[in-house]
Structure 1
Amino acid sequence: MPNYEQLLKTVQICHALSDMKQDILLFFYDEDTNKFFILAGKKARIEVTVYPDSTAEVEIGDEI
C-alpha cells in the first residue's frame, strides 16, 4: 500500500507532466515492489519511477 508522501509525489509528477503538455501513456502501481511507474511523452520517452521513500527517478529516452 502506498504511503501519503509517495502518493503526493506521484500526483505532483503527473501534474508537472500535464503542465508541460506531455501525454501520460501508462500509470501503474506495482504492489510487489511498492513502486509507481509512469510512462509519458510526445516526442521523447519519459520514464518515472516513484519509490516508497518518495524519491523519484526520471529517465528520458530517444524519440518515440
Structure 2
Amino acid sequence: MTPSAALPALRFGVVADVQYADVDDAWNFRRTQVRRYRQALDALRAAVEDWQQGPPLAFVADLGAVRGQ
C-alpha cells in the first residue's frame, strides 16, 4: 500500500447548530440568510449518509443546539 492510499488515523464528523424547529422559514437577525428550520433534519441526514460512504467514524461532535425553538 502506498502512503497516499493509507487510511486516515482518525476520522470524525462535526455538526453545528442544526436548528430544527417545526416553524416557517425566517430571516436571520441581520436579514442576510433565510433559516430553513424544517429542512435542518434533511441536511443532517445528508451529512450522515456522506459519512457512511467512507471508513467508520471514531466519533461525531455536535457543536450547538439541535432544536431551534
- State the TM-score bracket (shorter-chain normalisation): 0.3 to 0.5
Structure with the greater relative contact order (CA < 8 A, sep ≥ 6): 1 or 2?
2
Asked which structure has the greater CA Rg, the reply is 2
Give TM-score, length-normalised by structure 2. Answer: 0.34
Q: 1 or 2, which has the higher strand percentage?
A: 1
Please give the TM-score of this superposition, normalised by the length of structure 1.
0.36
